[in-house]
Chains A and B, each alone.
Chain A
Amino acid sequence: MTATAVEASGIRIQQLRKSYGSLEVLSGLDLSLEPGRIYGLVGPNGAGKTTLMSTICNHTFPSGGTILVDGENPAENAGVLERMCFIHEDQPYNEAFSVGSILHVLPTFYPGWDEALAQRLVARFQLPLERRPGKLSRGQKSAFAIVISLASRAPYTFLDEPYLGLDPTAREIFYEELLADYGAHPRTIIMSTHLIDEAADLMEQVIVLHEGEIVLQADVDEARSSAYVARGLTDEVRAFAAGRNVIAEKSLGRILSATIRGQVTAVDEDKAAASRISIEPVSLQDLIAALGIHTLTSALTTENR
C-alpha cells in the first residue's frame, strides 16, 4: 500500500460538530481510526457515542466539520455506505417482518454475508426466527444485532452497546465469535460499551468521549499503564499523593484508594512500601470512571489527543 493510500484509508474526522437545537452533542471533535482494528468507544450516558457513530454512517447529519472514510465523504455515497453496518441499540424494524425474513434479505445488502456464521450464531443465541423483532427480549434484540453485524462482514462494523441485556453465557458467545471472526476476517470494528473491563480484552484501542469531546484515545495497554492506584490508610495515602496528579479517590472507612495519573518509579514503590501503601494497577473501568468524574486538566486532555 502506498503512503497516500495508507493516508486515505480508515476514518478521518476533523472538527466534527453535532447539535440538536441548542444542545451541542459533539463539539469540534477530531478523530483518526486506522483500518483493521477493534475500537472501544466509551463514556458516560449522553457523551455522544451513538451520535458519533450515527454521524460517521450518515444516519444523521453533522452540524459542521468533515468526515472521510477511506478518503471519501460518506454522505449519500453508496460506495462507502455499503461497506458499513450499524445496528442501533434501539434499532427500529418493520414489525411486518420476522427475524428470519430480515436475515433472509441481508445477503443482498452485504456481498460478504456469511450465511454459515449467521446460522451458527442464531443457533448459539437460540434466536426464534419466526418471531417479530419487537417481540424479542432485550437480550435477544442485542443477539440479533450481533448476528447481523458479524455475519455482514462489513469492512466497517459499528456495535452499539452490544452487551445490553445479554446474560453471561451469551456475552461469552459474543466474545468468542467476535474474536474468532475478527481473527479470520480482520476489519474495523467500533464498539460502544459500558462494560469496559469485560470488553477491554476485545479492544485494541479505547476512545473515551466526555461531553462531546475525546478525552482519551490510547491503546488499551497503554491506557492501563497511564495511571495506578495507591491504597492504604487515609493519612498515609494523602501524604504519598501530595503533589501528584490524583484523578479519583475512594474511601472505605479509614482506607483510601487514590487513582494517580502517571508512572510508578522504583523510588515511589519504596516510599509506598515504607508507608504500608499498596500500589495496584488501575482497571480500565476505574480509569475511565475517574476521567468521567474528574475535571480534566488541560494537560491531560492535550497529552492524550
Chain B
Amino acid sequence: MKLTLDIWRQKSANAEGKMVSYEVDDISPDMSFLEMLDVLNERLLEKGEDSVAFDHDCREGICGMCSLMINGMPHGPERATTTCQLHMRKFHDGQRITIEPWRASSFPVVKDLAVDRSAFDRIVQKGGFISANTGNAPDANAIPIPKKDADIAMDAAACIGCGACVAVCKNSSAMLFVAAKASHFGHLPQGQPERYERVIKMVEQADAEGFGSCSNTYDCEAACPKEISVRHIARLNRDYLRASLFGE
C-alpha cells in the first residue's frame, strides 16, 4: 500500500506545531497502524530526520497507552478497537490519512502525537481506589456479590484510561472516564464506604484539571475502545446529586 500521511509535528510542549505530509509505500495491509508508523519512523531515521513521537506500550489493546486521532476519529474508524489493534487493511491504497494528537488543555502535547495524560492519574488518586486494612486476604466467597453487579462493575473496570472519550468530546469532558472509575468501585460492596466521597472528589478533580462538562452527546460511548456505556455517567450524576444533597 502507498499512503499519504498528514501528521502533527511539534518539537516540544511549548514549541509551535504544524501538520507535515509524508508519503509511505510498501505498507502491508496486515500491519497494525502503529507498525505502519514504525516503518515511517525507520525511514525518517535513515534519512537523518527526527522520528514521529507517539505513545504505545502493550500493543495488545489493553494498556491504554496508544491514542491518535485518525481521520477525525479517536483510535481510527474501527469501533471498539485501539489504534494498536487497528490494521492497515481498514484503509485503501493511496488513501490520505490525517493523524493528530488528543486535543484538550488537560492533555498537553509532549511531542508530536504524544500527550501527557497524567490528569487522569490525578483523578484516580482522588478516589479510584478502596481503603482496606492490611492482613490476611479475606476469603474470596465471604462477600456475596450478585452476578449482575459484578458484570456492571467489570464492564466499567474495562476502562483502560486511554482518553478517547476526552478526545472525541466536543467539550473535552472526562465524564465517561470518571464515571467508569466511580462505577467500577460503586457497584461492589468493597467500594461502598467511600462511594459518595469518591464521586465528589473525582468530579472536583476533573473540574480542576480543566476538562469540560458533559453535553450528553454520547460520542464518548461510540469512541470508547472498550465500549463503556454512558449509563455509568447517569449513575455518577445520581451518586453526585445524592452525595451533595444528603451526604454528611
Do A and B belong to a common assembly?
no
B positions within 8 Å CB-CB of A = none
A positions within 8 Å CB-CB of B = none
